[in-house]
Amino acid sequence: MEDSGYIDLYFGDQSHFGLTHNVPYARQTKENPILLPASKGKYQNVVELMTRKNKLYFEILETTFNSDRIICFMNRFAEQTIKKSILILDNSPIRKSKKFMTKIVKYMTKNKTDCFPND
């Protein structure tokens, strides 16, 4: 159905990228450890929906994602959706929250969107 253009099939995930330097291993002796200066950095958190044809919808934040932020992301996605969309979402605790699950039911009845957990 996706190949025929009838639906858009999206796969959802979220991740973060640390800006703190990390050197997990270096050749050193016990008597002369190598000390590398490090500074604390921020994290870039990203949530995304992507099709097999590389159609991408994403959002980047410097704060952590919670149910409210994911719901806002999904609201913006639903507003720009033109045709029926099927979402396969990762199994994160945020997407299992009561608040998010309640909102998903509204998306499914109001919009052209169906969501399935990736268990």
Could you tell me the CATH number of the domain that includes residue 87? Answer: 3.30.420.10
How many structural domains is the chain composed of?
Answer: 1
> Which candidate, 41, 59, 47, 45, places its Cα nearest to that of 16?
45
> For residue 17, what are the contacts with CB-CB under 8 A and spacing of at least 6?
43, 44, 46
The reply to whether 27 falls in a domain is no
**pTM of this structure:** 0.70
Which pLDDT tens digit goes with each residue over 35-86?
Answer: 766 666 777 899 999 999 899 999 998 888 888 998 899 889 888 887 888 8
The reply to whether 47 falls in a domain is yes
Tokens of 56: 């991408």
The confidence score (pLDDT) of residue 101 equals: 84
Residue 59 φ then ψ, to 5°? -145, 140
